[in-house]
Structure 1
């Protein structure tokens, strides 16, 4: 609960704390420099491998940069996922990023997963159960712990310097994260809504979250 306490102290606009978003969708209705959702992991995010999955939809124009997931420690962007201005999807591990040409993220919900492992540096995105080609990115790297995960904003410093022009507008649901690379069958099972082991870093059904600004929690109809 330490991270939630830190957010309470720094961000006076936080209005709602909760646990568990099973069957719910986060709606970010318009661009702001103050609306976000902070997530508290189930374990320290000292990661040598991971699988991050979420379902996402947006009507933002294709040439608009959009932050999809941001994890920042005091001094670095440890793990950020973006839709770039040229339409590619990228992720960054403390420094230069790696870029993928994927089917467009649009107003229709996309199931998006990202896998990476430190041993060989193999990284790939999965879109609606289909894997991209692998790229080799930062073998030997470790994601460092003691940061904060935000949805909706990219903090240029720890919980600060937010920019409306980079904010997320749209819907996010079913965000899960594991500290290892899921198999093809497990990623595809998650995409089709079948039962998979709960995320040991983030589990949407039991996730601890704090809402700040204008973010809605609605039923996933």
Structure 2
């Protein structure tokens, strides 16, 4: 009957709506000085605020070693970099500064960690979020503006626009769900993202649609 058919369609829809979308995972399998992935932004990286989120898994954090997690470089500066430093702190650097803002966070490991960084120019307030939980907020680079015209890469730290890589700073492991907004998401929204709710989509990088350029030994898996 019409009623039974409607109920069946509704049940089938519920089942399919529970299926997670297939997502890309970048796998950096070994230490190199030439393997990286460039992300092509959906709009200009001229920003007075941002939220950057990504899923990471690596075993390098068990060593006393620098690990580049995200790099945006212009011709003149490392404009926006996120590092896991050799002393186990996690640091955001803006506009070529050597005095980044550091945080003591739970270490990355072989299981996926959801890591987000937020910053806002007007107040200078900066924070890291690990698996939906926010760190203390610190003040950093109040009044600064992230400058456009650079290149965003994962896997290496460029000391020139797209080169001068150091094998001892590269990333080894898996990265996916790299999303970026040109505003600060609320704590509740970042918690919802960690819980699997993908709203709102990143307007700088949306992992579902962002174009990637792969260089060197990097595998792309569809999970």
Relative to the length of structure 1, the TM-score reads 0.89
Partner of 1:203: 206
Task: Please show how residues 94-173 of structure 1 align to structure 2 within 5 Å.
Answer: 94=95, 95=97, 96-173=99-176
Specify the SS of the correspondent of 1:176.
strand
Change (3 A) 1:198 1:57: same
More helix by share: 2
Q: Are 1:192 and 2:174 counterparts?
A: no
* Contact 1:22–1:174, Cα closer than 8 Å, also in 2: no
CA contact (8 A) 2:49 2:182 kept: yes
Equivalent-residue separation in structure 2 for 1:46 and 1:152 (angstroms): 23
CA contact (8 A) 2:22 2:222 kept: no
Name the residue aligned to 1:17.
none
Q: Is residue 217 from structure 1 mapped to residue 194 from structure 2 by the alignment? A: no
Query: Does the 8 Å CA contact 1:24/1:173 hold for their aligned counterparts?
Result: yes
What are the ranges of 5 or more consecutive residues in structure 1 without an aligned counterpart?
A: 1-20
The separation in 2 between residues aligned to 1:116 and 1:143, in whole angstroms, is: 10
Residues 57-106 of structure 1: CA deviation (Å, up to 9, x unaligned): 10113311100000000010000000000111001001121110000111
For residues 131 and 25 of structure 1, the distance between their equivalents in structure 2, rounded to whole angstroms, comes to 25
Question: In the comparison of the two structures, how many residue pairs are matched?
Answer: 200
SS class of match (1:187): helix
SS in 1 for 2:148: coil
Quote the residue 2:54 is aligned against.
54
Partners of 2:150 and 2:75 in 1: CA distance:
7
1:28 and 1:169, CA in 2 relative to 1: closer, same or farther beyond 3 A? same
Unaligned segments of structure 2, at least 5 residues: 1-20
CA RMSD between the two structures: 1.1
Residue 77 of structure 2 is matched in structure 1 by 76
Q: Which runs of 4+ in 1 moved over 2 A?
A: none
TM-score using structure 2 length: 0.88
